[in-house]
Chains A and B, each alone.
Chain A
Amino acid sequence: MNDRPPILDRTDLDQVLRSLADEVLALPWPHDPATFPWLVGIRSGGVAVAEELAAMLTVALGFAPQVGALDITLYRDDMWLKGPRAAEGQTALPGDLTGRRVVLVDDVLYTGRTVRAALNALVDFGRPRAVALAVLLDRGGRELPIAADAVGHVLAVPPGDKIQVRCDARGRLHSVVQVPVDAGSPAKVVSP
């Protein structure tokens, strides 16, 4: 499965990230270090995106946005389908959430269920002033009334196909692979 050719390589991803950064900067929020939104990546796929997005925004803004991570394992709605699963990691927010603006960051936006869970998880840590959603890739196929505020790239993917955003050994985004729905056994490993 690892030798499947990527639909986006690292060069493409640079461009996608740049587009995403531009859209985040276009959000109608002030660009000052004190109030600039936290970039909170949804574990596990959103964390690498949030970090790279932060790096890119640092260049444009002249200061580093604060980055956090949100674990949504215990907020998912598929426990009855998939059974218990280990958490991806601890939730780590830069500080007290109440009154802050937040950009939730994820790698792929598909059904919208992950974002629904993330919103519920987030508000259990406080009352943010505003929340926006930034995704590296929007592949369509929404099952909930959820839309992204910032999108790096839009993909047309048949329903059921898997879009895997892969990272390299240092956790940097590496490539995006599309696995057709009929590719045999379901994908087991997300990062190479």
Chain B
Amino acid sequence: MLPIADNLVLDDVDLRGWANLPPGPCSVLLVGGHFAAVGQHLDMPGAQRVDARGCWLTPGLVDLCAAGREPGQEQDEDLLSLSRCAAAGGYVAVAVGPDTQPSNDDHAVTELIVRRARDIGLCDLLPIGALTHRLQGETLSPMGEMTEAGAVAFGDADRPVRSSRMLRRALEYARSFDRAVFSQPLDLDLAGAGAMHEGPWSTRLGLRGIPAAAEHIAVARDIAVCQLALGRLHLQRLSAARSVDHVRRAKADGIAVTAAVTPWHLLRTDADLRDYDTNLRFAAPLRAEADRQALLAGLRDGTIDAICSDHQPWSVADKEVEFDRAQPGAIGLQTVWPLLCDLVREGDLDDAALVRATMTMPRVILGMPAPMLRIGEPATFALLDPDRPWTLDVHSNQSKSRNTPVWGRPLVGRTLLTVYRGRVTYSD
């Protein structure tokens, strides 16, 4: 347990992810929730000193994709519990999806989320407005009014936009308000009623497959339409190797496309479904080892910009069911950091890529300012320990749901302290 004093000196802490400061160890003085000094051998009479050697002082993680479930499904999650998950995971801002009930396809819902976020005050909750009315892919949503109300981007959550024409119009219209379109690339006809990656494992398990082509065909189409519309496209969760190739080429061609991936897709493959664990069912399914390697390579070379939590809370009734009837997704905000620390330890990811994918690029994609550590301003930061072990269980879990494949498993890498606008939002 880290003591929280009014005056706090973090000794030998590693600065990471600040736009105005190079990475490296130094001491940081906090006075009353404000950054007071950064340097070596800082001292202040009466201040609490904490040996923070090996810990990272970051501007906090930012998430591109989480389901808040409020309004409508507050039994699974609400914006308060979501904010607590975020703070405990070292997040200071979370983009919340439009897949609520009713869906966020109207400025009233957007305003509700913004107001709740302000009242809760644990982190930024940034609404992603629906791209189309009721996420149906047929009528444009009122993006202007929603932008005024605070929507930071537009997308139809898990639902791919079936019509290329509609996607074109949406990309064009969103451009008028300088907003990116968040797309979940999937060819619905090819995906059919698939429940997992199509391959030897789906054959073995007797589950219907979603071929990798169902994704990368849609990625190619989305990119082509984006180029046509001169819009800004963000691909929410990639899973297939060829998708990464398409994004790499599009970026080389100067098309405004960004892409994200979840930690699960960097760590797990379809072979992990051998036990029919519904917590490993995802909308973009876990794919083969070659796909996993391609995603990691894409992340290392910057083709994939960001890592999102893809936080999807579901009740037992939605998850403790037959695999092909289970809702896809897992809760994730609290486990992104330890899971990525695993990847760093295994040598699959370096520190710089981790910072870029969880802190820098999500802010860029959401149009947030680059994070600065400014003396005298109310501090917003997350103090993260890459080596501290813990377990996600009934005591540590902040979500109303507990659908995660790592429930009860040992994790290494923990948030020690999260401060948002000068207030402690989480401390271990």
The answer on direct contact between A and B (beta carbons under 8 Å) is no
